[in-house]
Structure 1
Amino acid sequence: MSFVFPGVSPRKSSPPKRRRNNNRRNKTFSQVTSSSKLSPCRLATMKLKEDLNPMLLLLFHLMVWIYTFITFLPSYLLSWVSSPEGDSYGSEAERAKRAKARSVLGRPEGPYRAVSAMKRLVTSLHPGMDTLDKMFEYAATRFPRRDCLGTREVISEEDERQSNGKVFKKVVLGEYRWISYEEVLTAAAQLGSGLASLGQRPKTNIAIFCETRAEWIIAAQACFMYNFPLVTLYSTLGGPAIAHGLNETQVTHIITSRELLETRLKAILLEVPRLQHIIVVDSTPTSWPSYARSISVHNMAAVQKLGAKPENAAHEHNRPLPSDIAVIMYTSGSTGIPKGVVISHSNIIAGITGMAERIPNLCEEDTYIGYLPLAHVLELSAELVCVSHGCRIGYSSPQTLADQSTKIKKGSKGDTSVLQPTLMAAVPEIMDRIYKNVMTKVEEMNCIQRTLFILAYNYKLEQLTKGYSTPLCDKLVFRKVRSLLGGRTRVLLSGGAPLSAATQRFMNVCFCCPVGQGYGLTETCGAGTISELWDYSTGRVGGPLVCCEIKLKDWVEGGYRSTDKPHPRGEILVGGPNVTQGYYKCEAKNQEDFFVDENGQRWFCTGDIGEFHQDGCLKIIDRKKDLVKLQAGEYVSLGKVEAVLKNCSLVDNICAYANSDETYVIGFVVPNQKQLLALAEQYSIRGPLEELCNSKAMEELALKVLTEAALTAQLERFEIPRKIRLSPDPWTPETGLVTDAFKLKRKELKKRYQDDIERMYGGK
């Protein structure tokens, strides 16, 4: 599973002609900021001219000048004191000149290594800590009494009926309750011993099918400690995919939750003949009804109690070797049946070593919020990085993350407000939602408020490009926006899907913390690149981590070569100790995607297309599987089209589609409900959301808005969808149309919209 990021046009072409746009005055702020061609000052001026007469405009310019003059010295001093280097990092131009990586052999194709790892790749965080059980025991020895894992208490639950008749469950949550590192180690040891008492054997696979929660990590540590290879399955996988993973790995024991047992697992038990024991992480109920084939169901607490008995506590650990399998991680299946990626202890140790090196001042004072799927390599790696440094992890979910989240009762606090995390990982889907919500609120402000916000936004953006911080501006203007994530976030890591330049800039400005973009895959333990946190350039994913190296392979069919100017381009190959053992029981695919070079180093062929810049930073510009050749011979990168159009405020999600037998691109669009209703109101079109989405008139109006956004972002004419289908239902992992990381499942989307594809291409 790749962390893919937006790039530039994959083809060399003449620059598009400058278009005269007479509708520029009517653009929303969020639409304007999606264009990287406009300067900050230009953005502010455009908006001010819309709203203010010349006298007021002059007054505001004067205010900005006075503000800049008054705050320059204290801002400069504060940024000097707060900088870990003792001075400013310098302008974007200066930062771009600093080498992050170099080609080891001096060739344009690489391999490229981080400057700090030119002599050798780094494989471990601490000497001798070469397996995951040793790593956690080391942390528990250093930080025995410190908080490790935290969960919020559920105070009350109630059903809330919406105006459309739908019922949503709302919760009121209390404070976080914490267990220490020492307590987690004891709980894991007891669980591992209890599993052994139930017949689980070393080097025999055991599955976990559970939501992200503290018990997940405790169970994982138990398996690492007792050398039980852990098979991870997404909690949103469908029945056939779950049965496939369990049967392929021949598990006899599975760890799950009460909800997933009742809603997902129960229905497929007859299809998994080897399964004998189900361990439920919930404490209630304490007794379970009989299931198919007399499968035994146990509470996790009961298994721990069994393991704590003196006669069982003496179970020999049979400690793992670095080369032993730690995890068989099933991908989310964006291209078909999920594949199990075989990951050794040494692979994960190397991967988290590389990630940790890019997070400055990581220590036991940090708090991380865990809410992404732990069955995803990004979340698992991030949490292991945290526990290796003694950080505390508070658990959450996308439905309870913020005060405005769907499951939080109005007036009560979401998880970020209570936890106030300093570290956070996010997929761009969540960042895009925050960005659009804030920008919508900005547009609803009165003229004076909106102008002040935009002035502050562009002032700070300009200061960031010069390498300066704006502590006073952060406190006076952006404190409320920053409080959406708790107010203390100092590092945001983004991975899993494309992050647009507009969203990245917004997060940097409004949340007052750097956003580190990364590139990695399940097959490389999530490790590949992470941008330096002081590098505010957009569209790039940084240089290689210290645990791996990257080289480019010519893809002649696609027209990418390492000899291309001004930057070498090609398919990205990742090599190093973090490259995994391959796919479980899939030898043909292993030979296709993995190889070992003459030096014994293992490599993975990603299928992504990248280019290296002079400073050693990688930019993802295409993907083999997303590239479609139209009938007239033009190549279209579907991922690029989607990344651009998701910046449009009308779009919540979009899937571009193209058939090689046709001459144009089409698209399936999940519209933003508020924006769509406003568009309908503007043209006096009435009706509920579903009726509007099925309206031909609304399709045409929405297409017009999308086309304007595409032209503003300078997409080529052949890249712009000519027809679209509006979908009233959002695409969630539960619908099976996107993965848990919100990557599009193109095969499933094509199946869902097959009739619309035929209609839009003239077949119906």
Structure 2
Amino acid sequence: MGDFAGSSFDSELLTEKGSGIYGIVGAAIVALLIPVLLSMMVARKKKVKQRGVPVEVGGEPGYAIRNAQIPELVEVPWKGASTMAALFEQSCKSHPQDRFLGKRKLLGKDFVTASDGRKFEKLHLGDYEWQTYGEVFDRACSFASGLVNFGHNVDTRAAILAETCVEWFIAFQGCFRQSITVVTIYSSLGEDALIHSLNETQVTTLICDSKQLKKLSAVSSSLKTIKNVIYFENDGSEKDSGVSGGISNWTVSSFSEVEKLGKRSPVDPSLPSQNGVAVIMYTSGSTGLPKGVMITHGNIVATAAAIKTLIPNPGRSDVYLAYLPLAHVLELAAESIMLCAGCAIGYGSTLTMTDTSSKIKKGTKGDVSVLKPTLMAAVPAIFDRVREGVVKKVEEKGGLTKNLFNIGYKRRLAAVEGSWFGAWGLERMLWDAIVFKSVRAVLGGRIRFMICGGAPLSADSQRFINICMGAPIGQAYGLTETCAGSTFSEWDDPSVGRVGPPVPCCYIKLVSWDEGGYKTSDKPMPRGEIVVGGFNVTAGYFNNPGKTSEVYKVDERGMCWFYTGDIGQVYPDGCLEIIDRKKDIVKLQHGEYISLGKVEAALISSDYVDNIMIHADPFHNYCVALVVPSHKALEKWAHEASIKYEDLSELCNKAEAVNEVQQALSKASTLVSRTEFFLSRRYKTTLCLQVAKAAKLDKFEIPAKIKLMPEPWTPEAGLVTAALKIKREQLKAKFKDDLQMLYQ
């Protein structure tokens, strides 16, 4: 993801046509039409749509809501599709000739040598090659039979340790044909967590990328139950004979060989039940060893069926770009939705996504340019960097191009905040033609809807993507424990910073947390810990009944509720906003409570900040921060300030640089969210003033001291999750001495 973020926007974003005579003429047309458009917007002001409504539920007292559009909880997309195996088979038989899974043909590989002597792989990729729903079903059936013939005991578990690809999806569905529970593991997971995950679940068959074989060889003596290994050949490489010594006790075969074995000797399917555990998903959690969440077939199906109703008309004409880790519940849910809707899924990579991505050979098109997706999912870090890249390119071009972009952006922003008609009507088409068409080409030019999850998306980034890409973002809130979907912002909701009403397969309940000062009786909006109940709530943690009983509670009506630990508030229209997290709250020496997550969310808006961790020692009356600075922003400042330095590490240690970033953080702490300003206008209340005051940071919440960290925090280093959320305990342990120095 980091590569995509850093190198995706070197190509032209704004065409010469858009900055020449056509742009001037277009701008003049828009100027003449503005009075007309304004009058139309005023005339078409809409009544506020109710998106969530109160509902009576069981369990602990609180304030509960459901989706306003669908009164009964959604459990299945259609009758008979109560498991992933049934959903897969029925979808494939409904669309046998429609294209389903696609991947790009590898035409060649080159290596380029950088000035420091390092070699980088460059790929020459061709067009997408597609398999139909019918062909994919046949392959999954063959793989399922091959697993049995290969020696996998159907009473044991299989694990997938690989990057997202066609074979990952086929292996996943093939396992379900024999009721095999799949253990999913991030390919970037460290050795200790990998060993723990495989041994705890007693996996006997491991399905992996060929490049994972060396990692497995290194830890093979610690893996107690592995007997079979099946490796993908999707990267064009063969099994490395050099690792055979470490895995000599295992039966090793390629994915294609297992498929052929199953095709020669078919085995009757043994299909799962709705309550059967489909997946044990190991999260790259923010503390300690990862926990395995038991996700049932019914959980995945219910999530897919519910969110499908919230995406505008998904179907066979849609193309979804798949590149996020399938071991993450967001991508797993998204691809399940595509399967449910009969869409096509084209696989890509963050390293090959754009024409200028690091693994793309010069002259070769990136994944988005070839696929031209209509739907995609992303984590907030990607949207943030899309925004940074576009702004940077506009600034570089300057002149008329910059002026046109700024005018167009302001007009579209005013239209969105004043009238949804203005955002999607005539003015939108004009500005798209003049300015935004070439910006949209960054993601292929055809995106019509995007799903965002994994972490909070800033209001500014959400609005920027809405305007520049011309597509709404469905911001999802959920956890692995709720099978990704708990709430989902609807496509026709112009607000930002909120996560929408409950998805139709579950209820959301707020439970008062008196210690933190959040109560359901709070005015003007009820507040409390977010609790989720419904068909998407998973079965608990594998082999961890103690932890399961802490956060999963079954009420008197038999419904299971998951206590998220997140704090939310519900708006008058029934939409949820995440405002805090219980574990992130620390009491300072003089009794003030500081929410680490809230402060981080406010300060990361600074242009100087790429990532930040706030640390509060309860024996002091102030907090401190570790800051990963934006290299480009900091180096640009150093150049303008005539600061001399040899490398980034030296710059980060300079007092002038630390002082500059610290001053910027103080300014960022006073910013007010545009979301609340817009919502206050919609609801004609004093909501804006109340929430805006809450959004500003108090003096004790602004870090008194900071340390600039020159190296980025990556999933590979174990400092952030795959969704790029910080791992607080790991960061505190790694930088223990730095934090202690800040308090001296």
TM-score (norm 1): 0.86
Paired residue for 1:305? 260
CA 1:367–1:212: 2 relative to 1, 3 Å: same
Residue 644 of structure 1 pairs with residue 626 of structure 2: no
- SS of the equivalent of 2:63 reads coil
Contact conserved, 2:152 with 2:228, CA < 8 A, in 1?
Answer: no
Q: In structure 2, how many angstroms separate the alpha carbons of the residues matched to 1:638 and 1:438? A: 30
User: Letter of the aligned partner of 1:677 in structure 2?
Assistant: E
Paired residue for 2:518? 560
Structure 2 residue corresponding to 1:124, chosen from 61, 76, 86: 76
User: Letter of the aligned partner of 2:482 in structure 1?
Assistant: T
CA apart distance, 1:112: 0.7
Contact conserved, 2:111 with 2:119, CA < 8 A, in 1?
Answer: yes
- Of residues 403-412 and 121-130 in structure 1, the stretch that sits farther from structure 2 once superposed is 403-412
Instruction: Map 1:576-591 to 2 at 5 A.
Output: 576-591=534-549
User: Letter of the aligned partner of 1:525 in structure 2?
Assistant: C
CA apart distance, 1:286: 6.5
Residue 270 of structure 1 pairs with residue 228 of structure 2: no
- SS of the equivalent of 1:160 reads strand
User: Letter of the aligned partner of 1:145 in structure 2?
Assistant: Q
CA apart distance, 1:276: 0.6
Contact conserved, 1:135 with 1:388, CA < 8 A, in 2?
Answer: yes
Contact conserved, 2:354 with 2:368, CA < 8 A, in 1?
Answer: yes
- Of residues 214-223 and 447-456 in structure 1, the stretch that sits farther from structure 2 once superposed is 447-456
User: Letter of the aligned partner of 2:700 in structure 1?
Assistant: F
- SS of the equivalent of 2:515 reads coil
Instruction: Map 1:343-492 to 2 at 5 A.
Output: 343-465=295-417, 466-467=419-420, 468=422, 469=424, 470-492=428-450
CA apart distance, 1:76: 11
CA apart distance, 1:171: 2.2
- SS of the equivalent of 1:666 reads strand
CA 1:101–1:657: 2 relative to 1, 3 Å: same
Paired residue for 2:18? none
CA apart distance, 1:240: 0.6
Gaps of 5+ in 1: 1-59, 78-86
CA apart distance, 1:676: 1.0
Q: In structure 2, how many angstroms separate the alpha carbons of the residues matched to 1:89 and 1:603? A: 44
Structure 1 residue corresponding to 2:238, chosen from 285, 305, 309: 285
Paired residue for 2:209? 257
Structure 2 residue corresponding to 1:680, chosen from 630, 635, 638: 638
Q: In structure 2, how many angstroms separate the alpha carbons of the residues matched to 1:363 and 1:117? A: 21
- SS of the equivalent of 1:604 reads strand
Contact conserved, 2:63 with 2:511, CA < 8 A, in 1?
Answer: no
Residue 101 of structure 1 pairs with residue 101 of structure 2: no
- Of residues 628-637 and 742-751 in structure 1, the stretch that sits farther from structure 2 once superposed is 628-637
Instruction: Map 1:138-287 to 2 at 5 A.
Output: 138-163=90-115, 166-262=118-214, 264-282=215-233, 284-285=237-238
CA apart distance, 1:428: 0.3
CA 1:189–1:492: 2 relative to 1, 3 Å: same
CA 1:143–1:495: 2 relative to 1, 3 Å: same
Instruction: Map 1:568-717 to 2 at 5 A.
Output: 568-687=526-645, 688-713=647-672, 714-717=696-699
**Residues paired across the two proteins, number:** 686
- SS of the equivalent of 1:444 reads helix
- SS of the equivalent of 1:740 reads coil
Offset from partner CA, 1:416-451 (integer Å, 9 cap, x none): 111110001000011111111111222223243222
CA apart distance, 1:738: 0.7
Contact conserved, 1:192 with 1:226, CA < 8 A, in 2?
Answer: yes
Q: In structure 1, how many angstroms separate the alpha carbons of the residues matched to 2:735 and 2:282? A: 27
RMSD over aligned CA atoms reads 2.3
CA apart distance, 1:156: 2.9
Offset from partner CA, 1:109-129 (integer Å, 9 cap, x none): 3321111332x2110001111
- SS of the equivalent of 1:595 reads strand
- SS of the equivalent of 2:716 reads helix
Q: In structure 2, how many angstroms separate the alpha carbons of the residues matched to 1:437 and 1:644? A: 21
CA apart distance, 1:661: 1.6
Q: In structure 1, how many angstroms separate the alpha carbons of the residues matched to 2:511 and 2:68? A: 22
Paired residue for 1:115? 68
Contact conserved, 2:477 with 2:484, CA < 8 A, in 1?
Answer: yes
Higher relative contact order (CA closer than 8 Å, sequence separation 6+) = 1
Q: In structure 1, how many angstroms separate the alpha carbons of the residues matched to 2:28 and 2:138? A: 60
User: Letter of the aligned partner of 2:720 in structure 1?
Assistant: V
CA apart distance, 1:412: 2.7
CA apart distance, 1:207: 0.6
Q: In structure 2, how many angstroms separate the alpha carbons of the residues matched to 1:66 and 1:150? A: 42
- SS of the equivalent of 2:739 reads helix
Q: In structure 2, how many angstroms separate the alpha carbons of the residues matched to 1:327 and 1:280? A: 20
User: Letter of the aligned partner of 1:326 in structure 2?
Assistant: A
Residue 543 of structure 1 pairs with residue 497 of structure 2: no
Q: In structure 2, how many angstroms separate the alpha carbons of the residues matched to 1:488 and 1:166? A: 37
Structure 1 residue corresponding to 2:86, chosen from 124, 128, 134: 134
CA apart distance, 1:292: 3.8
CA apart distance, 1:403: 2.1
CA 1:508–1:88: 2 relative to 1, 3 Å: farther
- SS of the equivalent of 1:476 reads helix
Offset from partner CA, 1:331-384 (integer Å, 9 cap, x none): 112121100001111111111111111101110110000011100000001001
- SS of the equivalent of 1:478 reads helix
Q: In structure 1, how many angstroms separate the alpha carbons of the residues matched to 2:313 and 2:714? A: 36
CA 1:256–1:510: 2 relative to 1, 3 Å: same
Share of identical aligned residues, percent? 44
Q: In structure 2, how many angstroms separate the alpha carbons of the residues matched to 1:617 and 1:633? A: 32
Residue 497 of structure 1 pairs with residue 455 of structure 2: yes
CA 1:592–1:71: 2 relative to 1, 3 Å: same
Gaps of 5+ in 2: 1-22, 673-695
Contact conserved, 1:680 with 1:686, CA < 8 A, in 2?
Answer: yes
Contact conserved, 2:408 with 2:435, CA < 8 A, in 1?
Answer: yes
Q: In structure 2, how many angstroms separate the alpha carbons of the residues matched to 1:703 and 1:413? A: 41
TM-score (norm 2): 0.89
Q: In structure 2, how many angstroms separate the alpha carbons of the residues matched to 1:341 and 1:196? A: 26
Offset from partner CA, 1:450-488 (integer Å, 9 cap, x none): 222111100011111211221111121101111111000
Structure 2 residue corresponding to 1:296, chosen from 238, 251, 269: 251
Q: In structure 2, how many angstroms separate the alpha carbons of the residues matched to 1:706 and 1:550? A: 34
Contact conserved, 1:436 with 1:649, CA < 8 A, in 2?
Answer: no
CA apart distance, 1:241: 0.3
Paired residue for 2:692? none
User: Letter of the aligned partner of 2:30 in structure 1?
Assistant: Y
Residue 325 of structure 1 pairs with residue 263 of structure 2: no
Contact conserved, 1:530 with 1:542, CA < 8 A, in 2?
Answer: yes
User: Letter of the aligned partner of 2:81 in structure 1?
Assistant: M
Contact conserved, 1:75 with 1:471, CA < 8 A, in 2?
Answer: no
User: Letter of the aligned partner of 1:501 in structure 2?
Assistant: A
Q: In structure 1, how many angstroms separate the alpha carbons of the residues matched to 2:35 and 2:273? A: 56
CA 1:731–1:179: 2 relative to 1, 3 Å: same
User: Letter of the aligned partner of 1:722 in structure 2?
Assistant: A
- SS of the equivalent of 1:228 reads coil
- SS of the equivalent of 1:280 reads strand
User: Letter of the aligned partner of 2:381 in structure 1?
Assistant: E
- SS of the equivalent of 2:252 reads strand
User: Letter of the aligned partner of 2:249 in structure 1?
Assistant: S
User: Letter of the aligned partner of 2:250 in structure 1?
Assistant: I
CA apart distance, 1:64: 6.3
- SS of the equivalent of 1:735 reads coil
- SS of the equivalent of 2:220 reads helix
CA apart distance, 1:549: 0.3
- SS of the equivalent of 1:252 reads strand
CA apart distance, 1:740: 0.8
Q: In structure 1, how many angstroms separate the alpha carbons of the residues matched to 2:247 and 2:432? A: 59
Residue 739 of structure 1 pairs with residue 726 of structure 2: no
CA apart distance, 1:582: 0.3
